[in-house]
Structure 1
Amino acid sequence: MAALSSERLETAADLPSSLGAESSVRTVNGIEFHVVAAGDETDPLVVLLHGFPEFWYGWRHQIEPLVDAGYRVLVPDQRGYNLSEKTAGVRSYRTSECSRDVVELIASEGRDSARVVGHDWGGAVAWDLALRHPGVVDRLAIVNAPHPVVYRHHLLSNPEQLRRSSYAFCYQLPWLPELAFRAGHFALLERALREMAAPGTFTDHDLEQYRRAWRQDGALTAMLNWYRAAARYPPTVPRERVDVPTLIVWGTDDVALTTELAIDSDQYCERSRLELLPETSHWVQHERPERLTDLLLEAFEEEF
């Protein structure tokens, strides 16, 4: 069982006030994690995993409706993000280590398993979790994140996907990406959100919450180390096929990931449902929050 601190933190964004949501620090997998939790502790557990360059706040639209539907919701700042511990070195950000974080986070609730939802890098962790630790995943939901085998294959065989992923090669450089991201009050990161999403998706208020998270000491390097670790220590998984019921939701206007990745990822799932959302970008949970929540609730209960 992980240790739970009674300390309550400034969260870099307002907690959902109507839910009695709580912010706490938990020691999981040997490091300190900031976690937002909401809902009755006896209700079925849902874990929401954010990606780059977000933090728990990226799931703000889903927390309340999931709680209202009868779920206990756990939303961590993933390793290195916002208020969670920034571990030293690139190796500690391997995908396998990040999925171990989730195993122990679920155990910190006194649970053996949970419904796990991941977007972007959170999706990469969720795929790894289902492949490496299938017993801890009741249902899997993936939002714009490819199956690791599919992604590797497309990088090697699909010039269009290689072109779209080329930005990640720049992140392998030491200190320069951090310097570029910090310039102009995080102007590049702000553009990555605003220009990749539909107009108006991210408000000025939203972006100020993100800037508060990005300003945390060591956060930029930690966030980039996820990319560096994936390049230096490519993940290997003990199996390729996902056995647990899986929902894949994909915004087809994603400028970084082709829709073919979603279609091919679906073929690696024994029991699955693929939902392609046209005129929707990479930021599905922000652009189509109600639709995504409906899909999650259906997938959590339906028979595949």
Structure 2
Amino acid sequence: MGATSRSMVTSGEIGSVIPSTVDAESTYRTVNGIELHVVAAGDETDPLVVLLHGFPEFWYSWRSQIAPLVEAGYRVLAPDLRGYNLSEKPTGVRPYRIRESSRDVADLIATEDRDAARVVGHDWGGMVAWDLGLHRPETVDRLAVVNAPHPTAYRRQLVSNPEQLRRSWYAAAFQLPWLPEFACRYADYRLLERALRETAAPGAFSDDDLARYRRAWDRDGALTGMLNWYRATARYPPSPSTDRVDVPTLVVWGEADAALVSELAVDSAGFCSESRLELLPDASHWVHHEKSERVTDILREHLEPAGVSRSR
């Protein structure tokens, strides 16, 4: 499975996040020519769920969902996406195109000797999930996207909605060389901390959470790798061959998102042949932190085919 001797999350660190009753481990998987760090949990024979984090997080983003999904009868993989935390950080901007990351996930699914998995993504992880649904639907049994717009819906809102254009200013700022890295690193990552705490409900991110994030941001090459996701999308914009997602899709949306207008949720669901839309008016972009139990329940309902219960 591509395990290596590189730094891993210790069992104690995992145990402080995932209950000891859940079998979980830190591994590396070789995918698409790079190494991804992956937290794997649950029985290897159970249906597979892959959880994809966004900016500026890492696998830890899904800490509240991993154990409940395992207890519901799933095998769960939560990778650090390329450029993040313990995963490999290719040099240059081009390797951070969405299509490369979706290939990473397709290969990750294959490391479990599976052809397909249930895929859940938030923010940039959601954009990877959309790309899989659009271009690699054979690898996705069911799709769930949390506060991440369908790419065509996003492009249309940028053109037609001045409010969305205003909210996207930071993505343009990230195109600059070296200055965004300097700004993010300044004063012990104050800018990134504020990006989390000041756009989320009070208490959504604890001091311990922020300490974990700082360690991830401080790894060699991590800031540039994380920011290169934004740069790659601007320099190498994807040209989708289709707008329609035929995989059964769930869209979960915190309506108090400071970066993305709620119209994107409705528009995104409209590009799916079979969709379920869940709007949470009292939640922000960080809805899976703020409303973790509600989001987990919604995910479990969607990920399990009708009439089948795997609860243990």
Q: Say if 2:184 is the partner of 1:185.
A: no
Q: Which residue of 293, 297, 300 corresponds with 2:296?
A: 293
Deviation by residue 1:55-107 (Cα, 9 ceiling, x = unmatched): 00000000000000000000000000000000011000000011000000000
> What CA distance in whole angstroms lies between the structure 2 residues aligned with 1:112 and 1:78?
20
Spell out, residue by residue over 1:231-267, the C-alpha distance to the aligned partner (whole angstroms, 9 max, x if none).
0001122211000100000000001000000001111
Counterpart AA for 2:272: C
Distance of 2:42 and 2:142 partners within structure 1: 19
How far the C-alpha of 1:30 sits from its partner, in A, is 0.3
Name the count of aligned residue pairs.
303
Give CA-to-partner distance per residue, 1:132-176, whole Å, 9 cap, x none.
Answer: 100000000000000000101111111110000011100000000
The answer for the alignment partner of 2:4 in structure 1 is 5
Shift of 1:14: 2.2
Tell me how far 1:13 sits from its aligned partner.
Answer: 8.8
State which drifts further: 11-20 or 27-36. 11-20
Q: In 2, are the aligned partners of 1:93 and 1:225 still within 8 Å (CA)?
A: yes
Aligned residue in 2 for 1:199: 202
Corresponding residue of 1:153: 156
Q: Displacement, 1:17?
A: 4.2
| Structure 2, unaligned runs of 5 or more | 308-312
In structure 1, what is the Cα distance between the partners aligned to 2:12 and 2:214?
Answer: 10
Contact 2:7 2:86 (C-alpha < 8 Å) held by counterparts: no
CA drift of 1:25 comes to: 1.0
Say which of 37, 47, 50 aligns to 1:47: 50
In the TM superposition, what is the alpha-carbon distance from 1:300 to its structure 2 partner? 1.1
Sequence identity percentage: 67
Could you tell me how far apart the structure 2 residues matched to 1:188 and 1:238 are? Answer: 37
Distance 1:221 1:8, change over 3 A: closer
Tell me the TM-score normalised to structure 2 length: 0.94
**CA offsets 1:6-34 (integer angstroms, 9 cap, x no match):** 76713699212411210011110000110
Structure 1 counterpart SS, 2:13: coil
Equivalent position SS for 1:4: coil
Question: Which of 11, 34, 39 is equivalent to 1:36?
Answer: 39
- TM-score (norm: length of structure 1): 0.97
- The alpha-carbon deviation at position 302 of structure 1 amounts to 4.1
Equivalent residue for 2:260?
Answer: 257
Uncovered stretches (5+) of structure 1, i.e. residues with no partner? none
Aligned counterparts of 2:291 and 2:118: Cα–Cα separation in 1: 20
The answer on 1:135 being equivalent to 2:138 is yes
The one of 271, 274, 281 equivalent to 2:274 is: 271
1:70 aligned onto 2:73: yes
